[in-house]
Amino acid sequence: MSYAVDFREVSTVGLESSPVAAALAGLRANEARYFKNKYDHVFTVQPASDAAEIIAWVHRILAEERDLVIASAPLEASAFQVENIRMAYVFYESGLSVNVMYTLDDPKKRAVGFKLSDGMDIPEELASRFKFARQRSKLAGTIRGSYFTIKNEY
């Protein structure tokens, strides 16, 4: 069952098993606010058990582009298109959020982003390979983020 993320009343629904559930919920709400304000899009997520295809697509990109495997279990995922951009998100139990921004008409504007919830450690599989910049958010506290550019077609 999909869930429309409310960025006014932040809820940990679907994220309860995460040790940083409140911070991850804030991170998820931060994304929901961004897409509502920029594209008038309602950000919805579905349980990982219902989102195997989305998660497989994100994991394939991670594996083929950077030989990366995320150790944490996925809790929720989302996939949608805004304008000419195909978006996918996976939220993990550790507090990690991975998003794929895949423009349909410009291969130079395709990327994978990583965001770390406030209070979580950098996952071992990312620690030595990426530098994380800090950003403040009213909904999510301190978000640490990094990204890489996608080079192939998916």
Quote the pLDDT of residue 137: 86
Q: What pLDDT does 139 receive?
A: 84
Burial (0-12, 13-18, 19+ Cβ within 10 Å), 45 = buried
Confidence of residue 74 (pLDDT cuts 50, 70, 90): very high
- Classify residue 77: in a domain, yes or no: yes
Structure confidence at residue 138 (pLDDT): 85
| pLDDT recorded at residue 140 | 85
Residue with tokens 């219902």: 50
Report pTM: 0.95
Total domains in the chain come to 1
Q: Tell me how far apart the alpha carbons of residues 70 and 62 are, in angstroms, rounded to a whole number.
A: 9
Q: Is the Cβ–Cβ distance between 143 and 134 less than 8 Å?
A: yes
Rounded to whole angstroms, what are the CA distances from 14 to 29, 79, 86, 96, 101? 13, 17, 23, 14, 23
> Residue 1: which pLDDT band, with cuts at 50, 70 and 90?
confident
Per-residue confidence (pLDDT) for residue 141, from 0 to 100: 82
Percent of the chain with pLDDT over 70: 100
136 secondary structure, DSSP code: E
The answer to whether residue 14 sits within a structural domain is yes
Is residue 154 included in any domain, yes or no? no
49-81: string of b/e by CB count within 10 Å (b at 16+)?
Answer: eebeebbebbbebbeebeebebebebbbbbbbe
Give the integer Cα–Cα distance in Å for 16 and 143: 19
The pLDDT value recorded for residue 131 is 95
Amino acid of residue 46: Q
59 is a domain residue = yes
- Residue 110's CB is within 10 A of a number of other CB atoms, namely 21
Range of the domain at 20: 3-149
Q: Tell me the per-residue pLDDT of 80-123, one tens digit each, with 9 for 90 and over.
A: 999 999 999 999 999 999 999 999 999 899 999 999 999 999 99
Residue 113 lies in a domain: yes
pLDDT band for 63, please (50, 70, 90 cuts). very high
Does 6 score more than 90 pLDDT? Answer: yes
